[in-house]
Structure 1
Amino acid sequence: MKIIDLFAGAGGLSEGFRQEGYDILAHVEMDKSACNTLKTREAYYFLKENNLLDIYKNYLLANITREELYNNVPQEVLDKVIEAEISNKTIPNIFKQIDDVLENDSVDLIIGGPPCQAYSTAGISRDPDRMKNDPRNYFYRYYIRFLRKYQPKMFVFENVRGILTAQEGKVYKNIRRNLSNAGYKMDYQILNAKDFGVSQVRERVIIIGWKKDIDFEYPDFDLQIESPTIKELFKDLPKMNAGESVNGKGKYVLKKNTSIEGIRLNDWNILTQHISRPNNENDLEIYRLVVDAWNNEKRSLKYNELPSRLITHKNSDSFLDRYKMVRNEFLAHTVVAHISKDGHHFIHPDIEQNRSLTVREAARIQSFPDDFYFEDSRTAAFKQIGNAVPPLMAKQIAKKLKKELHQVNLM
């Protein structure tokens, strides 16, 4: 099935569908760093399919530049990545670029999730107008314009839970009505990534729609796949301190890690982006106290319980969970884009390392495979990871849809 990925980010959603054999025709994304990541991933797949993966590995080992990597890939492959903000002004040109890729072919499926800041609890709580005037409330309208233009059999629309209650439920009602007017039935479920093999508690609304003339029902995703704990997820990664990095020429401490199937492939031996941000001594002391509180008392340390010399924020009456650790014996809490600002909500559980998570550790929590490379800076990589749909979750959705579509003779 041929797919368009809208608001693609780093491509977590399309990565999962691609692993299930779907054909990604185009990714549309406005962030330059995310687009670079998408192009590098397209390069990876092209080189892999043509038995040229050593070129990609040489790029990860810094033996060749990104430009040299891309020079080994046909331009039409890289052109699948359309760097553009989706708006009334840009949509005609985006349509033209997609049409050039399509070459009179049809689109079977559209996937993607419009930016969710306008629906998020954090965004609403910070905005005095409760995000009512934020234009991102209406990005779903652009998504529907793509449905009207390309008439896919189905679509998958991902977002945060807040989309159901935004503006007292008006946003969701409008989405449903506009989709019906565009010729689609739809339904949704609130799905949790932890039930799809992802080492993270992450609830998201997954809307699935299909053309009204298709005999289809929302699939049953009661998969309950066991997810590896944080300890299992990290056990083959070398230890490091704050500010250290292993990128490209680093070594795993185990030859295999069979407990994280789908993340580190058996024949993959290049560890990249195991990069930890530096921290000041104040934060490092707080990190030690947070880890100690859990290890010794099995409790989360509140900000107002810190020694007064470590409290630097004026507000010590609210936002008391400023510092959180991921726990060895459990799954991680939700990875969000704020991880690009600081790592205080993602402290490593090993007190001897005393740091926040590395880029690779965060990517693993989101279930990105170790051969997936995030372009540009450490901050850009963290942002891409935090905004992504976990690929393993996307893969299971894609697998289930494939089975259901076979049953109604649409594949």
Structure 2
Amino acid sequence: MNFIDLFSGAGGLSEGFIRSGFKPIAHVEIDRAACNTLITRAAYHYLKKTDNIKPYLDYIQNKITRTEFYSLIPDNEKESVINLPIGDENNKIIFDKIDSLRGNESIDFIIGGPPCQAYSVVGRSRDENRMHGDSRNYLFKEYAKFLEYYQPKYFVFENVVGLLSAKTKEGDSYLQMMLNLFEEKGYFTEYKILEAKNFGVLQNRKRVILIGKKNGKKGFYPDFEKIEPNVTVSEIFKDLPEIVAGSGNFYTTRYKPYNGSYLFESRIRNGLDFTTQHIARPHTEQDKGIYKLAVKKWENGHQRLNYNDIPAKWQTHKNKKAFVDRFKVVAGDLPYSQTIVAHICKDGHYYIHPDIKQNRSLTPREAARLQTFPDDFYFEGASEKPSRTAAFKQIGNAVPPLMAEAIANKLKEKILND
């Protein structure tokens, strides 16, 4: 079964569908760094399929350049990643590219969700216009054009919970507008709030997942078995070497001994004897002082640090009433962490490592593990130079692959039963 992924980001949703046996025909994404990540991952899957993974391992360990690595990959694999904004200006070009890639094959699924900032409760609270007039509010109309053109059996549309309450300036519900439009295109759509922590992901992440079925009738939305690993968040740190702020390695990090099973069962560890991008941000002495306060407060009674509790000499924000939890420990003794969001690319204050000796924020690899990206998944920058910021942004915007795989498996069952 073939799919195309719109607004792909780094491809977390796609990764889950590929694991389930679906075949990607194309990914469409506006961000150059994310497109490079998608090409690198497409190359990985191609080489794995041809039983020749060594060039990929050489590349992510910096033994060969990206140019050298990409030269080993067929053009159609690289061309399957389309770096264009979706909209009237480019849709015809995108359709033509996808049509040349698929040949006579059908598109059975469309997956992906438009950028969520316009529907986000936080985004609306911070914007003086409540995000009214933001063009991203209406990207679902572009999504519908792809449904109309390709007529897939199903679509999967992911977005933030804020979508349920987002309204136009006139008071109309964006969600209802979506449902009506998708129905016009021939798709009955159902939706639920799905929680990543119920899929074996060690993260408190809620998302609205809309599933549309061509000529569908009520009651097709899958039921998912609840998976709750008997581990805490500390599991994702256990086999990674301790590093301090400003240290680590973009390319090769060898594991410490690990006697657990979660990292293998979740497919985070998948056969390699190393991982990449375990490199910590440098932090100012002031930030490191605040991080220590936050960790001590958690260790001594499970209390979160309130911004107003920080010594006055370290307070740099005038607003002391909103977002007072802007410094937050990723508590290793809880069953799941706070939600990983794209803001992690700006600073690490909301994602403080629980080990006071390391005294730093999370690395990209640690954040990726909380999202259940496999350790061999490499996040690219816009240029050949690696970028921690670009990696964080892609990780924060992604759908956890473990959750995506469960959704794909259930939909595959539905199709086979039909």
TM-score range, shorter chain: over 0.9
The alpha-carbon distance between structure 1 residues 213 and 335, as it changes in their structure 2 partners (threshold 3 A), is closer
Q: Please tell me whether residue 367 in structure 1 is matched to residue 377 in structure 2.
A: no
Q: Secondary structure at the match of 2:253?
A: coil
Paired residues for 1:2-401 under 5 Å: 2-167=2-167, 168=171, 170-212=173-215, 217-226=220-229, 228-254=231-257, 257-260=260-263, 261-330=265-334, 331-376=336-381, 377-401=387-411
Distance 2:62 2:270 in 1: 22
TM-score (norm 2): 0.95
- Contact persistence 2:348–2:361 (CA under 8 A): yes
- Between 1:334-343 and 1:221-230, the stretch displaced more is 221-230
Shift of 1:404: 1.5
Instruction: Give the superposed CA RMSD.
Output: 1.4
CA deviation profile, 1:186-226 (whole Å, cap 9, x unmatched): 10000000001111000000000001157961111242342
Distance 2:359 2:43 in 1: 36
- Contact persistence 2:194–2:209 (CA under 8 A): yes
Q: Secondary structure at the match of 1:204?
A: strand
The alpha-carbon distance between structure 1 residues 228 and 98, as it changes in their structure 2 partners (threshold 3 A), is farther
Gaps of 5+ in 1: none
Q: Secondary structure at the match of 1:166?
A: coil
The alpha-carbon distance between structure 1 residues 49 and 95, as it changes in their structure 2 partners (threshold 3 A), is same
The alpha-carbon distance between structure 1 residues 125 and 215, as it changes in their structure 2 partners (threshold 3 A), is closer
Shift of 1:270: 2.0
Match of 2:414 among 379, 382, 404: 404
Number of equivalent positions: 408
Shift of 1:122: 1.3
Shift of 1:335: 0.4
Kindly provide the amino acid, as one letter, of the partner of residue 398 in structure 2: A
Distance 1:70 1:111 in 2: 26
- Between 1:363-372 and 1:226-235, the stretch displaced more is 226-235
- Between 1:322-331 and 1:247-256, the stretch displaced more is 247-256
CA deviation profile, 1:346-400 (whole Å, cap 9, x unmatched): 0000001000000000000011000100002100000000000000000000111
- Contact persistence 2:188–2:217 (CA under 8 A): no
TM-score (norm 1): 0.97
Kindly provide the amino acid, as one letter, of the partner of residue 108 in structure 2: D
Q: Secondary structure at the match of 1:321?
A: coil
Identity of aligned residues (%): 50
- Between 1:7-16 and 1:228-237, the stretch displaced more is 228-237
